[in-house]
Amino acid sequence: MSRLATLLYGTVCYALFFVTFLYLIFFIEGLFVPKSLDAGPVLIESGPAWLINFALISLFGLQHSVMARPWFKKRWTKFVPRSCERSTFVLVTVGILALTFWAWRPMTGVIWDVQQPALRSVIWAISFGGWGIVFLSTFLINHFDLFGLRQVWIRFKNAEYTHLNFQTRSLYKLCRHPLMLGFIIAFWAAPTMTAGHLLYAAGMTGYILIALVFEEKDLVEALGQSYRDYQQRVNKLIPLPKFSKPTGGGAERTHAQPAHG
């Protein structure tokens, strides 16, 4: 691909993802969109709802877990330009999310329903606070590198890509994966929890917990003792202080995390 074509490709992939991610928020929260987790026309009639929905969650988890692994990237970049690898990851994610929006079957059985207006508002605020944590975390990692724009811009300038360092600052001093914590908060903070929403929240939380096991192994392999020290200083997801002493001199800077999305 030419440098201009690479830049255009990455920019389009990012724009599609940005719009799709906004739709995902409203899809989960049940706001402003024609179909959500809990309401809207069902376009697939065959098969139990839970089976179709679980398959969609599994497809998302499988794509993210496989495409984020170093062994896959090594093979994948034999066919896809290295500068476009992350943008292609983002584009595949857009396709899977679009399929989820279309194929999801609402399961409207009510697990809990908070009726008190003030309390509902508090729960809404917590949920959107979770999305805010997700958004902020992407910039603490490096938003544009995470979604492929930095890679295609470097290719456009005909420069060599270098991995970014980032300070373990702000939210990353509280837990090692605030981005994933934000997702979990957003998924579970629901004033009305239906069976479909519960399936989605539980399924995505399960994926996150499993995926982080593999991601932590990748980070230890890539960063060695500095990341092991970071593991001892900071909890994985629970933003509470740890009191164990690091085994060596902890480094305040590490390479950017290989995020799942």
* Domain range for 241: 3-255
pLDDT in tens, 45-79: 667 899 999 999 999 999 999 998 888 998 988 89
| Rounded-to-10 torsion of CA 106, 195, 96, 69 | 180
Residue 260 included in any domain: no
Q: At what angle do helices 178-188 and 117-141 cross, to 10 degrees?
A: 160
pLDDT in tens, 92-139: 999 999 999 999 999 989 999 999 999 999 999 999 999 999 999 999
Dihedral-angle region of residue 30 (phi above 0 means left; psi in -120 to 50 means alpha; beta otherwise): left
What is the percent of the chain with per-residue pLDDT over 70, rounded to a whole number? 90
Q: Distance between CA atoms of 236 and 180, rounded to whole angstroms?
A: 10
Residue 261 included in any domain: no
pTM of the model: 0.88
Residue 7 included in any domain: yes
Q: Distance between CA atoms of 174 and 238, rounded to whole angstroms?
A: 8
What is the count of structural domains for the chain? 1
In single-letter form, the type of residue at position 54 comes to F
Residue 175 included in any domain: yes
In single-letter form, the type of residue at position 66 comes to V
